[in-house]
Amino acid sequence: MPACMRTIAGIICALLIAGPAAAAAADKGLTVKGVRYFTYPGFTRIVFETEEAAPYVLTRSSDGKTLYFSSYGGPFVLRSPQLPSINDGVVKGMELRQERDHRSIIITLGPAAGDAKDFVLRGPDRIVVDVLRGAAAAVAPEAPAAKAPVVVIDAGHGGMETGIVTGQGVEKTLTLDLANAVRKLLKKSSVKMTVLLTREQDKPMTLDERAAFANAAGAVLFVSLHAATGQDARVFILDPDEGQASPSPGGPSDFQGYDAMSEQQQMLWGTQQARHAQESGRFGRGMARVLTASEAAEPEQAPLAQLKAVDSAAVLIETGMTMNRGKTAEVIAAEIVQYVSEKR
């Protein structure tokens, strides 16, 4: 481990373990079964699921840009086949590093990262690392001071994930073009709103990152744009069976005011859309009717991975690749304007 780093936490967690038992636990090392992360407006939470409570070390490099997570003694085993891909501004990425006989997980922090705190939860055993969003980055950079409603337009696919490829084009490019066209029209609208794109260029983004982006921006509406062959448009909303009701608040809170009992944030992630089903359905119905020019059109319900974690009204629009893109953008923008004006 580099000597330049300073220890911010060298926790002999083991919780109730003390004395010789602690030494024995240290010898056994630390086995991580899985790694998950959650992006919240104020911080990013990384959860290491461990096989059992064991001592660990979390240190931060002297330049403050990296966290090192490893066992306190004994082997450090990572059973998870892969580490999650994080890039939410607070955390830039994670990787497993082997230096001689020492293994550790390197957490690269982003420009928005502030302090890091860690704690242990039991049943099942977890080590939680919270990287706080720094004061300078507390406000989303693109969000203006005025509290205009935020609309997030998501250009589907990106990077290596091209989406479908036809003679009319590549889906990732068409969706980005359409997203830009919709944003341009919305900015001209008399109804004040902040329009954010999940991606401005051809880059990969996970579905969770897109949802986290919208949630962190406090979006009132999330519109994901996709494309399909042909000239028909379809509007999808989340299958109502997807996601259960959110856990009721009121349990014991951790130091940040988030429910710490049984780590309910974990249950919350992926179920956020359930409480917006009605709004999504209403917006989706309106969008389906204008896009298909049919008063009987209804949005299609599907278990969409992309929408389940979005904490606002959310739809996925699939436009035909041969549709007139300019007109399609106008129709989508007009429906968004109407929705936002009704919400105000």
Partner 1 sequence: MSVRNDRRLPGSGTLVPAVMALVLLAAGAGGYLWFRASRMPQPAPIQQQEAMPAAKPDEPFMATLYLPAEGRLNAAVVAVKRDPDVQIQARETVAATLADDRGGTVAVLKELKLKALYLDAAGTAYLNLAPVNAGQKELRASAEEELLAVYALVTTVTQNFPEVRQVRVLVDGREAQTLAGHIDLSRSFVTRTDLVRTQ
Please name the residues in contact with 32: beta carbons below 8 A apart, sequence gap of 6 or more.
Answer: 48, 49, 50, 51, 76, 77, 78, 79, 80, 105
Q: Which residues 228-287 are close enough to bind partner 1 by CB under 8 A?
A: 228-229, 234, 236, 242, 270
Strands 219-228, 313-320: pairing kind: parallel
Beta carbon nearer to partner 1, 242 or 335? 242
Instruction: State how far the Cα of 323 lies from the Cα of 233, in Å rounded to an integer.
Output: 8
Beta carbon nearer to partner 1, 94 or 307? 307
318 binds partner 1 (CB under 8 A): yes
Q: How far is the CB of 117 from partner 1 (least distance, A)?
A: 29
Instruction: State how far the Cα of 252 lies from the Cα of 163, in Å rounded to an integer.
Output: 44
Please name the residues in contact with 147: beta carbons below 8 A apart, sequence gap of 6 or more.
Answer: none
162 binds partner 1 (CB under 8 A): yes
60 binds partner 1 (CB under 8 A): no
38 binds partner 1 (CB under 8 A): no
Phi, psi of 311 (to 5 degrees): -95, 50
Instruction: State how far the Cα of 161 lies from the Cα of 80, in Å rounded to an integer.
Output: 23
Residue with tokens 């066992």: 71
From 53-61, 69-77, 160-168, 282-290, give the range in contact with partner 1 by CB under 8 A.
160-168
From 112-120, 121-129, 157-165, 325-333, give the range in contact with partner 1 by CB under 8 A.
157-165
Q: Which residues 194-223 are close enough to bind partner 1 by CB under 8 A?
A: 207
User: Quick one: which of 258, 272, 212 has its CA closest to 36?
Assistant: 212
Among 161, 187, 192, 253, contact with partner 1 (rule: CB under 8 A): 161
Beta carbon nearer to partner 1, 118 or 318? 318
Q: Are 220 and 313 in contact (CB under 8 A)?
A: yes
Tell me how crowded residue 299 is: count the other CB atoms within 10 A of its CB.
Answer: 23
Q: How far is the CB of 48 from partner 1 (least distance, A)?
A: 19
Beta carbon nearer to partner 1, 133 or 234? 234
From 131-139, 140-148, 154-162, 187-195, give the range in contact with partner 1 by CB under 8 A.
154-162
Q: How far is the CB of 6 from partner 1 (least distance, A)?
A: 37
Beta carbon nearer to partner 1, 224 or 312? 224
Beta carbon nearer to partner 1, 51 or 298? 298
Paired residues of 235 in beta bridges: 317
Among 45, 157, 183, 210, contact with partner 1 (rule: CB under 8 A): 157
Q: How would you class 278 by CB atoms within 10 Å of its CB: exposed for 0-12, middle for 13-18, buried for 19 or more? A: exposed
Beta carbon nearer to partner 1, 193 or 197? 197
Q: How far is the CB of 108 from partner 1 (least distance, A)?
A: 23
Tokens of 265: 């944030």
Q: Are 333 and 185 in contact (CB under 8 A)?
A: yes
Beta carbon nearer to partner 1, 115 or 161? 161
Strand ranges of the sheet holding 102-109, from the earlier edge strand across to the other edge: 6-9, 56-60, 66-71, 102-109, 91-99
Among 126, 133, 199, 308, contact with partner 1 (rule: CB under 8 A): 308
Contacting positions for partner 1 (CB under 8 A): 81, 156-157, 160-165, 207, 226-229, 234, 236, 242, 270, 300, 302-306, 308, 316, 318
